[in-house]
């Protein structure tokens, strides 16, 4: 039996391409999820797919990096599947026969490459944020009040008005006004 697994990292991404590839390969049972690959423990549907494997069944994934993000994680997945008497098939690597030692070794190598790519993505993103901060870019939500409105709210607060009263007049939550007090 063929059991498929598909994953995208964010809710804004789409599973359609992977599911279509799995269906084209003859997979009827597909476990899918929208979960980040950086946390290796955060893929409950992958766990269910592996648990559903029986002897001579095959776990089919469209791309190996959808199932794993690190070499050790990939090796653990391969070992778990092998212990069940099952195999892995990776659609974007049709030349690999993952039922052989060489095929499994190559898959471990691909897992290491996926881990390296993940680390490079994280490093590039951190470098980009650091460079943006250096240029004065502010991260986070846009302030609800302009600097002038914040100054006026603080003046009114100092005069004894309540945060609720000021917030109501300015069209913001009282907690927005209360947080201004912390910034002084």
Q: Which one from 9, 36, 162, 175 is the annotated catalytic residue?
A: 9
d(CA 112, CA 63): 14
- Please confirm, yes or no, whether 70 is among the known catalytic residues: no
In Å, how far are 4, 38, 42 from 121, measured between CA atoms? 27, 11, 19
Exposure pattern of 104-124 as b/e (b: 16+ CB <10 Å)? bebbeebbeebbeebeeeeee
Residue 171 C-alpha from the chain's centroid: 35
Catalytic residues, by residue number, are 9
């Amino acid at each position: 039996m063929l059991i498929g697994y598909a994953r995208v990292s964010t809710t804004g991404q789409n599973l359609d391409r992977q599911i279509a590839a799995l269906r084209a390969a003859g997979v009827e049972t597909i476990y899918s999820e929208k979960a980040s690959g950086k946390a290796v423990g955060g893929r409950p549907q992958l766990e269910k797919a592996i648990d559903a494997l029986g002897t001579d069944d095959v776990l089919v994934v469209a791309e190996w990096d959808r199932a794993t993000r690190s070499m050790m994680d990939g090796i653990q997945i391969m070992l778990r599947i092998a212990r069940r008497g099952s195999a892995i098939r990776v659609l974007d690597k049709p030349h690999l026969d993952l039922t052989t030692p060489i095929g499994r070794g190559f898959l471990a190598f691909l897992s290491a490459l996926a881990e390296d790519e993940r680390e490079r993505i994280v490093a590039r993103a951190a470098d980009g944020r650091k460079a943006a901060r250096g240029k004065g870019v502010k991260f986070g939500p846009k302030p609800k009040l302009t600097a002038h409105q914040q100054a006026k709210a603080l003046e009114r607060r100092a005069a004894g008005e309540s945060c609720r009263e000021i917030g109501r007049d300015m069209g913001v939550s009282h907690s927005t006004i209360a947080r201004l007090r912390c910034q002084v």
